[in-house]
Amino acid sequence: MKVPFVDLHPQHEEVYEELEAVFRHALHDSAFVGGQPVAAFEEAFAAYCGAAQAVTCANGTDALKLALMAAGVSAGDAVITVPNTFIATVEALTLVGAHPVFVDVEPTTYNLSPTLLEAFLVEQCRPDVDGRVIHVQTGRLVTAVLPVHLYGLPADMGPILALAHQYNLRVVEDACQAHGAFYQLNGVQKRAGALSDVAAFSFYPGKNLGAIGEGGAVVTDDGDMARRMRMWRDHGQSEKYVHISPDGWNSRLDTIQCAVLAIKLRRLDEWNGQRRQIAAWYCERLAGEERIVLPVEPAGRQHVYHLFVIRVPDREKTRQRLLEQGIAVGMHYPIPIHLQPAYCYHGWQTGDYPETETAAASILSLPMYPHLSEQQVDYVCHVLRTAV
C-alpha cells in the first residue's frame, strides 16, 4: 500500500467548486492585491483565534518578523526561545537583529520547559539598575520570550506568561503549526494565538490551514501593534505614497490566497477533528509498544496534530523499512538549531541542550492529514510494529 506523508488532493477536491469560483472572480475583476477578500479573511481569522486583529502577510517567517517588531524587540536584544523548532523561528530573530538565547524543551511535549525557563532567568540573568533583565553571558538586554507551539500542541503558556510578567518580558507566540489548538488559561479555553501579546501563523500549503502558496498572519488584541504591522508590510506607508517608516517592505498577502484561506477556515475545525481521530487511531494501535514513544496531550491542552511525531530507538532502520513498504515519513527536526551551520558563530556545542538533542536523534513523523483513512493507519501501524 502507498501511504503519502501528506496528500492535499482530497482537501482541495472537497472545496473545488468554491476554489474555482475564487479564480473566476479574481480574473473577472482583475483584483489581485488588497481589497475586500483580504479584509474579510483578516476579520474572520481574528475572530476564529479569539483576537481583535489579524494582519496578513507574505509568509510565516515575515509573520514572526512583524510580530517581533510589533512587540518592540530591537537590534541587539536577547530573546528566549527553543532550539527544537524549524529554523524560521530563529531566522526571524536574526532578521530583526536580535540574539537568540535558548532554553531546552520538555522531554514529553518537546515544547519550551517552564521549569528550565525559570532556572534560566534566575541563574543566567540579572537585573540592571532599572530592573530590566540582562543575560549575564552576553550582557544583552532580554526583552521577550518566543515559545513555539510545536507540531500542533500549545506550549505550557500559564507558567510561561507568569514568568514573563514577573520579569517584564513580552511574549510572542510562534503558532505557525497550531491553527485551532486550545490551551486552558485561568480556567478559560483559549486558542493558540490568543494567549499572549502577539502571535504569528504560517499558511504554508501543508499546514492545518494552508494556502495554495505561501502566506502568513499575525494576530493581536493591540490595535496600535496591528496598525504598525499593516504599515510595515506595505512599504512603511500610512497612506499611498506617504512612507513614514524606513523599516517597511512588501509583505502583502494576495487577494486570491485570502479568498482561498477564507473558504478553508470554515472547515478547519472539522479537519482538525479528523486529524485528532487519526491520532487516536495511531495511539490505540501502537499502545503498549515499549520501543515507540507516542505524542502526549497534557490536561488543559488540545493538540491539533499538524504532525504526528513519535520516537524510535533506531530511526534510520525504521525509516528505511517504512519507505520500502510504501510509507512516506518525515523528520521534524533532525538537526537542532544550535547545531546548524548557519548559527555556528554562536559557539553552541553538542550537549548544550540535551533534551532537544535526544529528541532530534530519534523523532519520526508519521503520515498525517485529514483525509488519511483508517485502513492506511492500520497498515502504517502494522509495518511500524514490525520494523521496531
pLDDT for the residue 190: 98
Residues with Cβ within 8 Å of residue 347, at least 6 apart in sequence = none
Helix axes 374-387, 268-286, angle to 10 degrees: 40
Is residue 139 a contact partner of residue 168, using CB atoms and an 8 Å limit?
Answer: no
Strand ranges for 215-280 from DSSP E: 216-220, 237-239, 242-243
The pLDDT of residue 126: 97
* Segment 117-126 mean pLDDT: 98
Cβ neighbours of residue 326 closer than 8 Å, sequence gap 6 or more = 1, 2, 3
Give me the residues paired with residue 53 across strands.
220
Query: What's the average model confidence in pLDDT over 307-317?
Result: 97
The Cβ of residue 85 has, within 10 Å, a number of other Cβ atoms equal to: 26
Chain-wide mean pLDDT for the chain? 97
Q: What is the pLDDT of residue 114?
A: 98
* Rg, the chain, Cα only: 21
Nearest to 223 by CA among 48, 52, 66: 52
- How many residues are given for the chain? 388
Residue range 254-264, pLDDT digits in tens: 999 999 999 99
Beta bridge partners of residue 201, listed in sequence order: 217
% of the chain exceeding 90 in pLDDT? 100
| Cβ neighbours, 10 Å, residue 214 | 19
Q: What is the average pLDDT across 138-163?
A: 98
> pLDDT category, 19, cuts 50, 70, 90?
very high
Is the N-terminal amide bond of 353 cis, ω within 30° of 0? no
Q: What is the pLDDT at residue 256? A: 97
Q: How confident is the model at residue 162 (pLDDT cuts 50, 70, 90)?
A: very high
pLDDT of residue 240: 92
Instruction: Tell me what pLDDT residue 158 has.
Output: 98
**Helix pair angle (16-29, 255-265), 10° resolution:** 150
Name residue 236's amino acid.
G
Nearest one of 291, 293, 323, 288 to 308, comparing CA atoms: 293
Sign of the four-CA dihedral 329, 380, 276, 205: positive
- CA end-to-end distance (rounded Å), the chain: 19
Give the model confidence (pLDDT) of 52-72 as tens digits: 999 999 999 999 999 999 999
Strands 78-81 and 140-145: parallel
Which amino acid makes up residue 123? E
Query: CA dist 106 to 146, 156, 330, 336, Å?
Result: 15, 10, 21, 15
Going from N- to C-terminal start, the domains of the chain cover: 9-265, 268-387
Q: Is 53 helix (H, G, I), strand (E, B) or coil?
A: strand
What is the CATH number that goes with domain 9-265? 3.40.640.10
Q: Name residues whose C-beta falls within 8 Å of residue 76's C-beta, 6 or more positions apart in sequence.
A: 97, 98, 99, 140, 141
Copy the grid coordinates of residue 201. Answer: 501563523
pLDDT value for 51: 98
CB atoms inside a 10 Å sphere around CB 314: 13
User: pLDDT of 332-368, one tens digit each?
Assistant: 999 999 999 999 999 999 999 999 999 999 999 999 9
- Residue 65 confidence (pLDDT): 98
Which grid cell sits at 25? 472572480
Q: pLDDT-derived band of residue 146, with 50, 70 and 90 as boundaries? A: very high
Task: Tell me what pLDDT residue 226 has.
Answer: 98
Give pTM, 2 decimals.
0.97
Query: pLDDT-derived band of residue 265, with 50, 70 and 90 as boundaries?
Result: very high
What share of the chain has pLDDT > 70, as a percent?
Answer: 100
- In this prediction, residues 152-178 reach a mean pLDDT of 98
Using DSSP, state whether 317 is helix, strand or coil.
Answer: helix
The reported pLDDT for the residue numbered 328 is 98
Architecture of domain 268-387: Alpha-Beta Complex (3.90)
